[in-house]
Chain A
Amino acid sequence: MGYNPDKPMDGRISDLGPPHYEQFFPPVIKANKGKWLWHEILQPGVLMHKSETGDEVYTVRCGTARLITVNFIREICDIADKHCDGFMRWTTRNNVEFMVDSKDKVQPLLDDLKSRGNKFPVGGTGAGVTNIVHTQGWVHCHTPATDASGVVKAVMDELFDYFTSMTLPAQVRIALACCLNMCGAVHASDIAILGIHRKPPMIDHKRITGVCELPLAIASCPLGAVKPAKAEVDGKEIKTVKVTVERCMFCGNCYTMCPAMPLADPEGDGIAILVGGKVSNAKSAPKFSKLVIPFLPNTTPRWPETVEAVKKILEAYAKDAKKYERVGEWAERIGWEKFFEKCDIPFTEKSIDDYRLAYNTWRTTTQFKYTSHIK
């Protein structure tokens, strides 16, 4: 049996949806769903949840690379089989979690994880840096302005001690998106690493007729910079587009709509750093991340400029913020002028919004702080 290419529709099954989650619950989870009373983080990466039935579940959280092989998943399954009745789960931030139903099973699990080299770092809980949410980058995507897994590895190597400890004022969520499409939705992260382009698209006149619907390419530009044009290809006049370069904001939406408008470039592309976003409604409302470093180069294989910038922001925050204060709450309390000073980041006009709704970000009060910016 199996797929028969001669009769593709025979025996086809579709629209099954995902498997029902309950069959994958560890027994202690199944018995206590909806009955949990409280939790405590016993040590970095180890949580205990207490049920009204008296049951306890102990969770050990490990960071993973997200880009993982079936080999590696089988190793995770081995660990789950050995310690956790064959069950495990992943968090929304690419951590894998192993659950056991009594305290005496925790240490053997931790020992086992530790014996496997650097594959299963335990941490990512509480007031620390948890795993980075990220996109594909150069390993799979056609529009990236930077890599993803490589940058994440370099940053997490440097921030490793913050993953395995809980010494920060609050949790710090770092995210990476390798272009402005933001599949990684970095727009509400404490620290966002964002791939950006800086050169306008090239127009491949030879290919545009076959691969591109010109009205869609023209409509794709939010600033009207893509205009109808004519060009000569092999002695024949064809309909094509041109780009008004002064209007281009390098969003790449035209390339998404039209493969004949590539804009990636080794020198043009790099990373912008945005900070101060949050998703949680705790204390203050959710916030967008704000652009504080407009460009850092793609220095492969370890992006030292990006790693240093992230670490510098994190350490200034760690030193200065109050308990429970997220990065954005800290920046708002001290004022953004102080943020730039304390993080030792040069302020440039590129951090001043000149796009839609820009006025909302301009300061319309006499309240400010004297920093080194005022000469």
Chain B
Amino acid sequence: MAKHETPLLDQLESGPWPSFVTDLKQQAATKPECWDILGILELSFKDRITHWKHGGIVGVFGYGGGIVGRYADVPELFPGVEHFHTVRVAQPSSKYYSSANLRQLCDLWEKHGSGVTNMHGSTGDIILLGTRTENLEPFFWDLTHDMNQDLGGSGSNLRTPANCIGESRCEWSCYDTEEACYKLTMQYQDEIHRPAFPYKFKFKFSGCPNDCVAAIARSDISVIGTWKDDIRIDQAAVKEYIAGNYPSNGGAHSGRDWGKFDITKEVIDLCPTNCMWMEGGELKIDNSECTRCMHCINVMPRALRPGAEKGASVLVGAKAPILDGAQFSTLVLPFIPMSADNDFEELVEFIEKVWDWWMEVGKNRERVGETMQRVGLPTFIKVMELEPIPQMVKEPRSNPYVFWAEEEVEGGFERDVEEFRAKHAA
């Protein structure tokens, strides 16, 4: 493969941020097809339009997901990227790796593919970018046999679940997000690899309402840690914050002089439910009014911790705007226990109930949040066999157009107009 001139991309080699162009050029020394990646990208920079064709159904035997087919529309100019399929490899929980594992994966990708990756794709997978159709099966063989690893999801199936760092390095996690993600990923391998759904379906697991994995914005089932009892307070540490001995917000604001820490201004007055106050030199919280937003805990991590009775809220139906507009997930189960000891059975039971219903009524390419919109939240609650509770809405409806069912109305809907007219002249 010939080296291409890349005058436009070359301008992305300067500046303080790491340059993917420099990286690709260095890789081209041992993987010459990287010159064709640079070449086709340079052409797109010149033409200001993509040079990849639409679609291409490729995969490995027995799987309907995990590989995304891609072909260049100018293969004669850049034969090294004529086929440029993506391989999605399921990532370990929290994206921890050993160098031994990653080196083995790098060797495999250098052997079977372009040597170019994304660490990571938006959904969480390891993305291996660019290989030919004939390399897919040999790669998959080596991945499964030599590395004991597997592909992730793509298409109308369960996408590779993802989680925040959780208890492994965060004091706020209200359940073991890593184990929940791993357990459910293993349990639903069939749903990840063989499309049987109306459209894509995502789980994301965040340990607390800070939601570092963006579950509420990006997943059909958002499992977000929360607690039931009281915020745990260390009053001695509160005093240290007030005295200015501990940095606010874990030192997150230390780059600017914001003045002396003011617990009233920075914590108590910013509490969205006004449920905190100082009394006798101590911080008090009316926990029955608290909505567990995390602000006070974020600001004083050495003094405040989530309660000890922990679990998760389950919300349903988030998606990006295509087509009817973006949706956040809707709160459906305010609190469930999340325990590996019972294999997260409360969550599993709910997920399968949602799937049973959605697979039956969901239209082609309809995310579950859109199905919920189409049938209405009251219907969704009914089919999920849940009690309607005010926590599921921001406010009650402001129109009176209730779909009363016949059995809810005394005497039913059947009436005799003759009898009516006998008493009410027209």
Q: Could you say which of A259, A300, A357 contacts B46, with CB atoms under 8 Å apart?
A: A300
The residue in chain A whose Cβ has the minimal distance to the Cβ of B51 is: A138
Residues of B in contact with A, size category:
35 or more
CB-CB nearest in chain A for B9: A301
- Closest CB-CB distance, A353 to chain B, in whole Å? 9
B320 within 8 A of A: yes
Q: Is A19 touching B141 in the complex (CB atoms < 8 A)?
A: no
Render B57-97 as a binary contact track against A, CB cut-off 8 A, 1 for contact. Answer: 00001110000001000000000000010100011111111
The answer to whether B18 touches A187 (Cβ under 8 A) is no
Given A24-B101, A70-B110, A90-B120, CB of A171 within 8 Å of CB of B320 = no
The CA of A60 and the CA of B102, in the complex, are separated in Å by: 19
Separation of A178 and B328 alpha carbons in the complex (Å): 21
**Contact assessment for A140 and B129 in the assembled complex, using a CB-CB cutoff below 8 Å:** yes
A-B pairs with CB below 8 Å: how many?
A: 399
Give 1 or 0 for each of B154-184: 1 = CB within 8 Å of chain A CB.
Answer: 0000001010110111110000101000100
B18 touches A118 (CB 8 A): yes
Q: Is the CB of A40 within 8 A of B247?
A: yes
> A262-270, A309-317, A334-342, A365-373: which lies at the B interface?
A262-270
Contacts of B54 in A (CB 8 A): 142-143, 255, 259, 262
Q: Report B419 CB to chain A, min CB distance, Å.
A: 43
State the interface size on chain A (CB cutoff 8 A): 133
For the complex, what is the distance from the CA of A19 to the CA of B97, rounded to whole Å? 10
List residues of chain A with CB within 8 A of the CB of B250.
38-41, 126
Q: Say if the beta carbon of B338 comes within 8 Å of chain A.
A: no
The segment from B212-220, B275-283, B378-386, B405-413 that touches chain A is B212-220
Of B124, B150, B209, the contact of A15 (CB 8 Å cutoff): B150
Q: Does B17 contact A (CB under 8 A)?
A: yes
A window 96-118: CB within 8 A of B: 96, 99, 118
Please state if A17 and B186 are interface contacts (CB–CB under 8 Å). Answer: yes
Chain B residues with CB under 8 A of A136? 118
Known contacts A2-B142, A125-B252; A57 and B169 CB within 8 A of each other = yes
| Given A15-B150, A222-B323, 12 additional A-B pairs, CB 8 A | A16-B148, A29-B96, A37-B171, A64-B119, A66-B20, A70-B107, A73-B106, A78-B99, A87-B97, A138-B44, A163-B17, A167-B255
Q: Which B residues are closer than 8 A to A by beta carbons?
A: 8-9, 11-12, 14-21, 23-24, 26-27, 30-31, 34, 37, 41, 44-55, 61-63, 70, 84, 86, 90-103, 106-107, 109-110, 115-120, 122, 124, 129-130, 137-138, 140-142, 144-145, 148-150, 160, 162, 164-165, 167-171, 176, 178, 182, 185-186, 189-190, 193, 209-214, 216-218, 224, 247, 249-256, 258, 266, 270, 272, 292-295, 298-299, 301-302, 305, 320-326, 328, 364-365
